[in-house]
Amino acid sequence: MDYTKLKQTINGISSKDLEQRKSWYSPAAEAYNSARPKYPRELVDKAVSAAQLTQSSRILEIGCGPGTATASFAELGCHMVCIEPNPDCCELAKMNCESYQSVEIINKSFEEWDLEPEAFDAVLAASSMHWIPSQIGYTKASSALKEDGYLILLWNKELQPCKSMQIALSDVYRLHAPSLTQYEDRKTQEDILAGLGQMMLDSGRFRNLVTATVATSLTYTPDQYISLLGTYSSYLKLDHHTRNALFTGLRQCIFEKGAGEIHLSHLSTYHIAQKIPGFGK
């Protein structure tokens, strides 16, 4: 995906009605919590080091979801203010982070959140920044940061089956949902991730971008994989009949071609950039 097309795709997501964005993941909140992969510990540790985070740091998290990344940073013992617009995800995040007394979870969109100017050492967004209009997200994140603060964007790309399994599954997609017959190889995922990092710099609010990527392999059962797919936007948009028929076919194919399991891989990346002095005053 070239950079222009990526920006168009991101703009299409973030331009949805705010109320629609708030409720988008409600049908898949439980599945999101159980099936989406966590961020690799190696990547989180590198991010903590690059952003110079310590126990005394104060972190603002944008769109924490069910707390997929929150607990990993809360382990530092630092204070976290986590904004999550979806009420179902918010309740899951509170449950997942209940042992961390320094984590505050607020059920509100980032757009509606009352800005605390220059109050945070870092702003964290884990696979969530693309849901906020860039002119709001990057500007408000910059304003919330202290003069030497960092914006940390974490990304887990979609899990991809191995090529042989993808070929087997493609027949099912062509029958039930031809528009979803796609495969992102490593080069494609790397290009998309690079573009997401460039968008930080294009905002004009941040500098000194650093990035790191970790490749991960996972094995899911057919039910786990179907649950995972149900958390992706392209599948949430399918009508009920089409989605059920597709998932039934995919499940059967995995049992037949994969002996009841599916091997997956994906890239996890962080982009970290420092606030340009002078913004947010």
- Work out the pLDDT band at 140, boundaries 50, 70, 90: very high
Kindly give, in sequence order, each residue whose CB lies less than 8 Å from that of residue 22, ignoring residues fewer than 6 positions away: 85, 86, 87, 109
Chain centroid offset of residue 253 CA: 28
Contacts 24+ apart (CB under 8 A), 231-236: 231/25, 231/28, 231/31, 231/32, 231/35, 231/36, 232/158, 233/13, 233/24, 234/179, 234/180, 235/180, 236/24, 236/25, 236/27, 236/28
pLDDT digits (tens, 9 = 90+) for 46-102: 999 999 999 999 999 999 999 999 999 999 999 999 999 999 999 999 999 999 999
pLDDT at 261: 94
pLDDT exceeds 80 at position 231: yes
pLDDT exceeds 80 at position 139: yes
Judged by DSSP in three states, 224 sits in helix
By C-alpha distance, which of 212, 67, 107, 89 is closest to 153? 212
Lowest-confidence pick of 51-55, 83-87, 185-189, 232-236: 185-189
Phi then psi dihedrals of residue 164, to 5 deg = -65, -40
Residue 218 structure tokens: 């996972």
pLDDT at 198: 95
By C-alpha distance, which of 139, 155, 167, 24 is closest to 87? 24
Judged by DSSP in three states, 112 sits in coil
Mean pLDDT value of segment 8-18:
90
Beta-strand pair 58-62/120-126: parallel
pLDDT at 182: 77
By C-alpha distance, which of 182, 169, 154 is closest to 267? 154
Share of the chain above pLDDT 70, in %: 99
By C-alpha distance, which of 114, 117, 75 is closest to 96? 75
Mean pLDDT value of segment 250-261:
93
Mean pLDDT value of segment 115-131:
97
Residue 278 structure tokens: 């002078």
Mean pLDDT value of segment 241-269:
95
Kindly give, in sequence order, each residue whose CB lies less than 8 Å from that of residue 92, ignoring residues fewer than 6 positions away: 29, 30, 33, 65, 66, 67
pLDDT exceeds 70 at position 277: yes
Phi then psi dihedrals of residue 270, to 5 deg = -120, 145
Lowest-confidence pick of 66-80, 99-113, 169-183: 169-183
pLDDT at 1: 67
Q: How far apart are CA 210 and CA 216, in angstroms?
A: 20
183 vs 21, residue with greater confidence: 21
E-state strands within 115-260 = 120-126, 145-156, 160-161, 206-220
Query: What rounded mean pLDDT belongs to the chain?
Result: 94
Look at the domain 3-159+184-216+266-275 and name its fold: Rossmann fold (3.40.50)
